[in-house]
Structure 1
Amino acid sequence: MSGDPKLERIAKGNALALCATGTWTASFAPVLERMVADAEKLAGTPQSIFIDVSEVAKLDTFGAWLIERLRRSLTQGAVEAQIAGLSANYSSLVDEVRRVRAAAAVDNDPITISGMLEQIGRAVAGVAGTVAGLVDMLGAVLAAWFRVLVHPRSFRLTSTVHHMEQVCWRAVPIIVLITFLIGCIIAQQGIFHFRRFGADIFVVDMLGVLVLREIGVLLVAIMVAGRSGSAYTAELGSMKMREEIDALRTMGFDPIEVLVLPRMMALVLALPILAFLGAMAALYGGGLVAWLYGGVQPEAFLLRLRDAISIDHFIVGIVKAPVMAAVIGIVACVEGLAVQGSAESLGQHTTASVVKGIFFVIVMDGIFAIFFASIGM
């Protein structure tokens, strides 16, 4: 067939010419791939290389990509392969393929002290920018909350209840299961080590204080950051990609008041409930293991737990929950609203939301630990 693609190799002295003819489209993909691969292997080391495409009857993006790939592979050192005979219709197509597939220049600059300092400065500036974005979002949320207090009818109760269901009630099974298992593990490890000293019963003290003050709320906050924080970022990011947030602004609605505030309220209300349920599940799991593995009777466990803990331990843990929830919500919403118009950007910001959320939760837990220690709680 006259339309079948061909690639003829013509060598004259130190010059090499490759003449392409026929139809170079995706319909002939296997044939074209094989011809180009053979031409790359048999090119040799000529002083000049020309790829003549003047006889090409039809060319699409696939064919243009193969021609550009052939030109790149034949370019050796100072010898650059040239494409000749391109018609005006196909010249722009090859140029576009060349531009898109342009290889990034490899940075071979030596590592210097100034370069390292520049990288450190950029990292510090990035952290400062992140903190500034969080503070800006916090201010916007507080402003929206004050507007709701002034005009209560503008509060999105239905949206808040919906997000409350998603964040709280649907998360109860997994939260209770994981905290129950963590309580079991803490009790088993405590009994295993305390048994060497004949102090099995002290595992109750350790379990009660650890779960109520630290592990309960911290573990639940980390799970919420991974589950609900990522969901918030993905939801807002998808809306940003589809320009729904711009549409809200065009209609005169404040995205912070419509989208962010209900999610924040749901998270702030949900996390204390989840932290309480998680702490109870962990204590139950620890008590079960202490009974079955350590021989501590349930009555003795409860009596020891009553003496080991106080209401202060519960308050210390539960006070952290709303603050951690606010941090998780702010981070998630900031990352969601920062998504650009690509799926890659959505994935990057969702990952950043989870990582930053967990990081700031741990930082806040450390700050609370120092604060409560300083006031004797």
Structure 2
Amino acid sequence: MPQPGTLELETATTPPRLRIRGDWTLAHYVRLRALIDESPLGETGRQAEVDLAELGQLDTAGAALLGRWLGEERLLEVASHTPGLPAERLALLRTVVAALRGCPGTPGEPAGPAAVEVLGHIGDVVSEFGRQAKALLGFIGLSLESLLRTLPRPRRWRITSLVAHLEQVGLNAIPIIALLTFMVGAVVAFLGATVLADFGATLYTVHLVAFSFLREFGVLLTAILMAGRTASAFTAQIGSMKANEEIDAIRTLGLDPMELLVLPRLLAMLISLPILTFIAMLCGIVGGGLVSTLMLDVSPAMFLSVLQSDIPVRHFFIGLVKAPLFAFLIATIGCLEGFKASGSAKSVGDHTTSSVVQSIFVVILLDALAALFFMEMGW
């Protein structure tokens, strides 16, 4: 007959003896858990000598319950010194103890105060941000070192790889960049004309479109598109190579992954993004000029005349000078996240998402800081 497990503390002996009897199985788990929770044994029972000689049936549920209550190390020690304990039960106890060592605490433990958890989460986020910033700065230094070491040696240039990435990064991106900036230019002109018409100053729509695209929208929209399109591609490509151990094979062959994988992508971005920014500025202004011609009766000749006479060329250079910086950071973040990826598809996907988010965040942050700087300088 199966007998549910029991606990009996004999205090007549010195030291006290704790006898564990009966079946400690899943069928009696609820009763055994309640017996342990309601037991008056307390610390005295835990410190007593444990006797497992009369232990009945045992499974993983009962062994885990005893391990959590007595402690994994003590249960294993008691089981090892109990004469007559069947070998299969000793093996079961050892297996369960080994599993419990790698498990977290007892489920259902009361959580700490909410304020402490919130502060802990904020601390984790700040710590992770610091680690990512440190890794990015280190990778930027490594990229610059590789670039300066390779540029004086033309024989080490990867021309074929550079041209292939120029096609992928620059040439293939022209249609989407041109279409998007053309439409945004038309929207900006339409909204500007709608607002300025109330003040009888619709001609200043030309100034609005020119200022916005030369200084901000041209480079910002291009950088955001390249962050979503190209940084993610860099991360996915390098992450997949790392998952397939191709980067390890490159190092085994005596080649430098920075020189072979990073520099062609970095140089392709540095060359492509300024050109794409220039195309974005032109397309945005053309979109604004089309709306001005159709809605405001501003002829193309008058539109170009206002651009030439009222818009200083420094605004063009202010927008264009930010493009190489954005290109360098986008390419660096994309490649760095690719090297961070592990061997799983989930890791590659997570780091691809992270590269896009980080690139867009850095681009917008630096653009805002640059706008404040140029405004304070009176440029």
- Superposition TM-score tier, normalisation by shorter sequence: 0.7 to 0.9
Alignment CA distance shift 1:14-1:118 (3 Å): closer
Structure 2 partner of 1:34 = none
Structure 2 partner of 1:65 = none
Q: Give 1:278's aligned amino acid.
A: A
Q: Give 1:308's aligned amino acid.
A: D
Alignment CA distance shift 1:75-1:286 (3 Å): farther
Alignment CA distance shift 1:75-1:239 (3 Å): farther
Structure 2 partner of 1:261 = 263
Alignment CA distance shift 1:76-1:241 (3 Å): farther
Matches of residues 197-236 of structure 1 in structure 2 within 5 Å? Answer: 197-236=199-238
2: CA distance, partners of 1:207 / 1:186: 7
Alignment CA distance shift 1:77-1:296 (3 Å): farther
Q: Give 1:126's aligned amino acid.
A: E
Alignment CA distance shift 1:361-1:108 (3 Å): farther
Considering only CA atoms, is the larger Rg found in Structure 1 or Structure 2?
Answer: 2
Structure 2 partner of 1:242 = 244
Structure 2 partner of 1:167 = 169
1: CA distance, partners of 2:321 / 2:297: 34
The answer as to whether partners of 2:24 and 2:32 remain within 8 angstroms in 1 is no
Q: Are positions 1:296 and 2:298 aligned together?
A: yes
Q: Structure 1 residue 373: deviation in Å?
A: 2.2
3-state SS, counterpart of residue 202 of structure 2: coil
1: CA distance, partners of 2:376 / 2:157: 39
Gaps in structure 1 of 5+ consecutive residues: 1-10, 16-47, 53-70
Structure 2 partner of 1:336 = 338
Q: Are positions 1:309 and 2:311 aligned together?
A: yes
1: CA distance, partners of 2:351 / 2:253: 27
2: CA distance, partners of 1:245 / 1:199: 60
Q: Structure 1 residue 341: deviation in Å?
A: 1.1
2: CA distance, partners of 1:106 / 1:118: 20
3-state SS, counterpart of residue 282 of structure 1: helix
Q: Structure 1 residue 112: deviation in Å?
A: 4.7
- Choose from 132, 155, 161 the match for 1:130: 132
1: CA distance, partners of 2:26 / 2:209: 76
Q: Structure 1 residue 209: deviation in Å?
A: 0.4
The answer as to whether partners of 1:209 and 1:308 remain within 8 angstroms in 2 is no
- Choose from 147, 166, 173 the match for 1:145: 147
Matches of residues 43-82 of structure 1 in structure 2 within 5 Å? Answer: 78=34
Structure 1 partner of 2:352 = 350
Q: Give 2:268's aligned amino acid.
A: A
Q: Structure 1 residue 276: deviation in Å?
A: 0.6
The answer as to whether partners of 2:338 and 2:352 remain within 8 angstroms in 1 is yes
Alignment CA distance shift 1:248-1:107 (3 Å): farther
Structure 2 partner of 1:251 = 253
1: CA distance, partners of 2:296 / 2:262: 48
Q: Give 1:352's aligned amino acid.
A: S
Q: Structure 1 residue 151: deviation in Å?
A: 1.9
Q: Structure 1 residue 103: deviation in Å?
A: 10
1: CA distance, partners of 2:58 / 2:168: 60
TM-score by length of 1: 0.74
1: CA distance, partners of 2:276 / 2:108: 50
- The alignment covers a number of residue pairs equal to 312
Alignment CA distance shift 1:324-1:83 (3 Å): same
RMSD: 3.3
The answer as to whether partners of 1:208 and 1:308 remain within 8 angstroms in 2 is no
- Choose from 191, 194, 197 the match for 1:192: 194
Alignment CA distance shift 1:285-1:238 (3 Å): same
Gaps in structure 2 of 5+ consecutive residues: 6-22, 36-56, 61-87
